[in-house]
Structure 1
Amino acid sequence: MHVRFPRHLLAAAATGLVVAACGVAPTVEPKADAKADHFTYQGGDVATAQRGTDCELALRGALTPAAVSSLRLASDALAKRSCQGKTVVLDLADGSVGAAITVGSMLRNRGFDTRIASGSTCHTLCLLVFAAGTRREIAPNARLGFSQIPPDEDFGRANCDTELDNRQMLNLARYLRAMLPGLTADYMLQQIRATDCRSVRPLPASDAVTAGLATKG
């Protein structure tokens, strides 16, 4: 048995469905990252990410001249976006003091905050870069400590004890005092000079905040 409805009732029903559909706002999922860039180098990589108006660079691996070049490319890529906040997330291994100071100076000049990645290990070279952030945050479960500065053309060591000559100390002091309050810079210098090759001097996150190295633990 077929039931036929008058045409005017069918038209009214169809109109009601259209009106009801127009009254429901569509659900739009926000994009976590509008565009991602990835720059690799021997020993590490730099990746960009954007969430809303907040932009991040993730710097992972060794601090080398190649890391400086990749970071510059990634930073230039972020400069083309609308970023209100810019943070570099650090998960760094060894490298050279020269590269660490160059990276840190670049980050400060370009107005980046720094954050030590959750669960990562951040020793002396990483801490030098971390010090460059306008705001400096330690993510949960990150392990900080002062290790002996690795040897390179400018910062060498002849024995287990740390022996920096006047020129090396002056370079470190100038950099740290440009990045940090005077007392915090002096604290960093003291800790670096007191570290030898036998062990890493742990730095609890709470101590980093108290000393002024971190602005948020």
Structure 2
Amino acid sequence: MFVRIFALAALALLVVGCATPTPPPAAPSPAAAAAAAAAPPGLSTLPFEGGHLLLDTRSPACTITLQGQIHEGTVRRLHTGLQQLQGARCSSRRMLLDASAGELGSAITIGSMLRNRQFDTKVQPGRTCDTPCLLVFAAGTQRVLPLLPQPALLAFTPLPPDQDFAPRTCHSQPHAAQQLTLARYLNAMLPEPSSSNVLRQILAADCNGPARIGAQQALAMGLATSTAAR
């Protein structure tokens, strides 16, 4: 399983197709870096362009909160955060998701990193987790979509267009290699028929009215495993 999931990370670039590469994200601002350095023991902030990771090892239930965008800078910061966790005495590990815009290749890489380390995932209460965030959420060993204090939602939003494959449209238009990468990733993360159902929803996504599901629907689909933390 480890080899299979690790190989998916190497295939992540297929998801974004042959589009023009995105320039590397800018470095965090000096103010963000100073705030990170001032964090109390057991709590550290790893800033990146468009967001930050918050590592909390003050209890054995270690958490990493992802707030902001999902891109290559996020992946690099997560790698740093996971190295820091190696020295912590964690009885469990959980990724808390408060993610906004995202790149699919980076989402698949992050998801693979989390599954390889047996992380659980949880969408923060009151937040909506769109397709890139949803792919990270699917990587959790246990996947929590809370009802309280505010319900969290999962949104099937369209895949970004491949500029060399099809013009910008309101629908997902992945080519065969992209579909295969998504299918392999979801099959590694979720049991059948959940993985096929999730893939079908992603491929059918429409920007005019992306499907949003709550905890009960996600449980019935097999995408979520719980509505409350253990």
Q: TM-score range by the shorter chain?
A: 0.7 to 0.9
Q: Secondary structure in 1 aligned to 2:193? A: helix
Can you list the C-alpha shifts for 1:114-163, whole angstroms capped at 9, x where unaligned?
Answer: 00011111111111000000111012321221111123679976422222
Question: Counterpart amino acid of 1:210?
Answer: A
C-alpha RMSD of matched pairs (Å):
1.8
Q: Confirm or deny that 1:144 pairs with 2:154.
A: yes
Conserved in 1, the CA contact under 8 Å of 2:152 and 2:214?
no
Can you list the C-alpha shifts for 1:58-110, whole angstroms capped at 9, x where unaligned?
Answer: 01111100000111111111111100110010011112110000000000011
- Please give the alpha-carbon distance, in whole angstroms, between the structure 1 residues aligned to 2:164 and 2:108: 12
Conserved in 2, the CA contact under 8 Å of 1:96 and 1:152?
no
Q: Confirm or deny that 1:107 pairs with 2:117.
A: no
Percent identity, aligned pairs only, is: 39
- 1:187/1:153 CA distance change after superposition, 3 Å: same
Question: Counterpart amino acid of 1:145?
Answer: A
Aligned with 1:98 (options 92, 101, 105): 105
Conserved in 1, the CA contact under 8 Å of 2:71 and 2:103?
yes
Aligned with 2:53 (options 43, 46, 53): 46
Higher mean alpha-carbon deviation, 145-154 vs 174-183, is at: 145-154
Conserved in 2, the CA contact under 8 Å of 1:97 and 1:155?
no
- Please give the alpha-carbon distance, in whole angstroms, between the structure 2 residues aligned to 1:167 and 1:146: 20
- 1:66/1:157 CA distance change after superposition, 3 Å: farther
Corresponding residue of 1:214: 224
Q: Secondary structure in 2 aligned to 1:52? A: coil
Conserved in 2, the CA contact under 8 Å of 1:144 and 1:204?
yes
Question: Counterpart amino acid of 1:71?
Answer: L
Conserved in 1, the CA contact under 8 Å of 2:70 and 2:102?
yes
Aligned with 1:170 (options 180, 189, 193): 180
* Structure 2 gap segments, 5+ residues each: 1-39
The Cα of 1:204 is off from its aligned counterpart by: 1.8
The Cα of 1:195 is off from its aligned counterpart by: 0.9
Q: Confirm or deny that 1:182 pairs with 2:181.
A: no
Question: Counterpart amino acid of 1:190?
Answer: R
1:1-217 maps to which residues of 2 (within 5 A)? Answer: 35-139=42-146, 140=148, 141-151=151-161, 158-217=168-227
**Larger C-alpha radius of gyration, 1 or 2?**
1
- Please give the alpha-carbon distance, in whole angstroms, between the structure 1 residues aligned to 2:134 and 2:164: 18
